[in-house]
Amino acid sequence: MEYNFREIEQKWQQKWVEEKTYKVVEDNSKPKFYVLNMFPYPSGAGLHVGHPLGYIASDIYARYKRLQGFNVLNPMGYDAYGLPAEQYAIQTGQHPEKTTFQNIDRYREQLDKIGFCFDWDREVRTCAPGYYKWTQWAFQKMFNSFFCNKCQSAQPIEKLIERFEEKGTEGLDVAQTENLTFTAAEWKAMDEKQKSDTLMNYRIAFMGETMVNWCAGLGTVLANDEVVDGVSVRGGFPVEQKKMRQWCLRVSAYAQRLLDGLDTIQWSDSIKETQKNWIGRSEGAEVEFKIADSDESFTIFTTRADTMFGVTFMVLAPESELVEKVTTPEQKAAVEEYIKYVKGRTERERMIDHKVTGVFSGSYAINPFTGEKNPIWISEYVLAGYGTGAIMAVPAHDSRDYAFAKHFNLPIIPLIEGADISEESYDAKEGIVCNSPRADVKPYIDFSLNGLTVKEAIAATKKYVKEAGLGRVKVNYRLRDAIFSRQRYWGEPFPVYYKNGIPTMIPEECLPIELPEVDKFLPTETGEPPLGNATVWAWDEVNKKIVENTKIDNKTVFPIELYTMPGFAGSSAYYLRYMDPHNNEALVSKDADEYWQNVDLYVGGSEHATGHLIYSRFWNKFLFDLGISCKEEPFQKLINQGMIQGRSNFVYRIKDTNTFVSYDKKDGYDVTPIHVDVNIVSADVLDVEAFKAWRPEYETAEFILNDEGKYICGWAVEKMSKSMFNVVNPDMIVEKFGADTLRLYEMFLGPVEQSKPWDTNGIDGCHRFLKKLWKFMTNEETLSPTLPHNGEGDHAACSSTTNTPNGLPIMGEMSKGQRGSKEELKALHTLIKKVTADIEVFSYNTSIAAFMVCLNELTKLKSTNREVKEALVILLAPFCPHLAEELWHLLGHTTTVCDAPWPAFNENYLKEDSVKMMVAFNGKARFPLEFPADVTKEDAEKAALANPQSAKWMEGFTVAKVIVVPGKMINVVLKK
């Protein structure tokens, strides 16, 4: 019987659908396990072989957990809203809805061919009204909340209003945009609009006039993680800073919790580190400096409070509001010119070359520690958005200040004993402090840091600053609030309308506000939202209702928010929706949430480290504060699958000809390398005829072949992309080798977390293994002589209780149940141990190697034992589900292999005579022996070998090496 994978795979895929094998329901009698893949953007290019890598890895784990008796949730859906989907639609000149749905169908078709155990009844699409209702709902909840710093959690905005009525902002400690102060009386005196504007300062979802990343090429604003090196991640269009009125999420309020939460989750160090960098916590002090000959003062932020005595000048960010206040009439022209220069520089220019530039403002600040007057400068190296936008410069111990001081010839005072600052600043936080205060000047205050270490000095200064009322201890974060609105069409509409210019939430019962049809959905360079083109709005109906309820003039039409939400809105809480995807009353029911808790295993690319993985954690923490999600962290364990890179092939055309020369003959010719479709190249040998047929211009191509008459292509590892003709489509692999081979091969390629180029060369090995396995399981010569077991007796290898209902003899003559031989069981249990341990740590490639070894062993033994075969099939089921089902079926089972019990490992089969002898799989072995300290090495060695017990263990082996550790132990290394 041939291994007919096409027939087998088709048959079982159909069965799984018919029998809803992968449907999962909450079941309190079983422990739960939640496996999740980052859901894909359904892009136009379809899936390539890189996409399923993570899906296969998690599918194996999900199936394994199910075999172990867990109730496994493994859902899939589509992140359909947002820029990528819309850009594709624009490029192909179609409506995004149409292309998105087409792409989803294509993805689904491709996914179905690989045999995943997704519960498709739970599919979500972020662009479905039933789904984004809850995105809009969450936004409204954020709008109606503020963040209390003291209790570190979100609170209803009503609480804040009550407090304002009572005592204004007195003693207020909440997350805010600006530090406002007003009394209860002032609050009460505000009109509705003023109150609304004031509350925006505190809401978690708020409208703010902020500096945003404006991308004219995409016609929208972008979040920080969507901009890299001054250009948009999507499309690479230039991005400029612009002040705009935008919706924002106060992610920064959760900075500390986002940081602390990292300690409670099992993510890789590199992702945690990336998030820590992105959050950018720095502990320091804010110190107030008075401006000389003025009543004004300003605050600086520093992490080096110990360097207060080394300040020789101050620097303000050019954008700082203080600039105007400190500029003296004499300096006005120079300052204005400088500001003009800074404004003319793009973000990108500023980032790439760090020019030392600046201008003196004319004013001085009084150093509260020395009483000295320090000149106030203005320079672009100080950022308006970080800290207070003002710094104290300590050139001796900060490289940027040092460069500035040298350039403008400002004084440099060293503060650390022995620090050499003749060539560069001494930035290390190490050493003994001196010159604080300097011996040659009269102390201004009764405070000295001399003789302390830097660390002690920082602590001492902070304490002093606080006690003397000069400032306060402050923690700063780099993490910025997320800009949440986009001037785009393909996204969730905001559930917001404007009542007399005041942003107002649409009543919850009217959600969702559906995305309207528009004629023109293209973005505009000026930022006019495409939703303005809508002629028919679901909003119209809602508007009517609101108008009726409020008893205003029936003809009143309130304007609705025309911005849409960004891509990350819909992807931030989708894992919660999978728990209860059809619930129309709540995002997720209490019961479902408490059953599934949070995602146990999350699999996806590391490129989402500072985007989705921050937003999701923020979003979930907010919902946790509201009591919607019972777990503070959404993703307990995270695995980042590596990227599959493409392996491009090249042909070499001799310049100005249509002649192509083989790679090994190309030296001596002037050639142009040209990408060639990898699908017409096999093992770097070009299919010449296929090449001629590939494109019309190559029809008449001529070739200089190598000595063997072959055309050899060059190759390079590049990103897998259409333009490099190196895209390998999973469908083609499935067609040629089958889904089980694809699954096996993708896992065999190497560790899941490692990036690697796709290389089809090794795929035969995996396919060959499956063919051998098939042969072994079905070969007439090794037919099982045993009956299908029916629960009697103990089955050490497989404790299955699944009976063969009709008792039909399958696979040849059956006789009474029989134990596997010692050797068979040893091979099997070595495999059970290895596979079980490896799956737990996602080391699938080594599991597969163990399968190959085990099969070899069993084939050599001509094993015919049924319990061994059954166990083997179950172990295989996570990796190659189709084949496992078929074999399970051939073994006489009518139930799915998915519900078989995972074989239990029994150590006894690997032990010899119950001693501590470890027999490794490939024939290596060693065992320890104790021996007294006063015996010489040689004697110990002899004694060990002469020991009757040792002799027994050594049976069948030869001694490769004896390792003697005097007084400790002896290891005898054996080999077969």
CA angle 269, 272, 274 (to 5 degrees): 105
Distance CA 79, CA 84 (A): 10
Can you name the residues that pair with 486 across neighbouring β-strands? Answer: 564
Distance CA 732, CA 49 (A): 10
Nearer to RNA, 352 or 502 (CB): 352
Distance CA 818, CA 795 (A): 10
Cα–Cα distances in Å, from 812 out to 585, 801, 869, 975?
57, 22, 14, 39
Contact residues for 129 (Cβ-Cβ < 8 A; gap 6+): 512, 514
Q: How many helices (H) and strands (E) does the chain have?
A: 30, 33
Long-range CB contacts for residues 588-593, cutoff 8 Å, separation at least 24 = 588/628, 588/629, 591/26, 592/26, 593/628, 593/629, 593/630
Distance CA 298, CA 376 (A): 11
Distance CA 848, CA 834 (A): 10
How are beta strands 502-505 and 599-604 bridged, if at all?
A: unpaired
Query: Cβ 290 to RNA, closest distance in Å?
Result: 19
Element spanning 39, H or E: none
Element spanning 871, H or E: helix 866-876
CB atoms within 10 A of CB 700: 8
* Residue 205: strand, helix, or coil: strand
How are beta strands 32-37 and 599-604 bridged, if at all?
A: parallel
Can you name the residues that pair with 78 across neighbouring β-strands? Answer: 125
Distance CA 401, CA 392 (A): 9
394 within 8 A of 310, measured Cβ to Cβ: yes
Query: Cβ 87 to RNA, closest distance in Å?
Result: 20
776 within 8 A of 855, measured Cβ to Cβ: yes
| Amino acid at the residue 915 | V
Distance CA 397, CA 309 (A): 12
What tokens appear for 650 in the block? 């090249």
Distance CA 785, CA 802 (A): 19
Our CA dihedral for 114, 834, 893, 734, rounded to 10 degrees, sits at 20
CA angle 853, 854, 860 (to 5 degrees): 90
Element spanning 542, H or E: helix 538-550
Of the chain, the end-to-end C-alpha distance in Å amounts to 36
| Amino acid at the residue 728 | V
| Amino acid at the residue 930 | E
| Main-chain phi, psi angles of 973, to 5 degrees | -95, 125
* Residue 42: strand, helix, or coil: coil
649 within 8 A of 681, measured Cβ to Cβ: yes
322 within 8 A of 365, measured Cβ to Cβ: no
Query: Cβ 629 to RNA, closest distance in Å?
Result: 27
642 within 8 A of 53, measured Cβ to Cβ: yes
For helices 866-876 and 844-860, the axis angle rounded to 10 degrees is: 160
Secondary structure letter of residue 597 according to DSSP:
-
| Amino acid at the residue 507 | P
Contact residues for 108 (Cβ-Cβ < 8 A; gap 6+): none
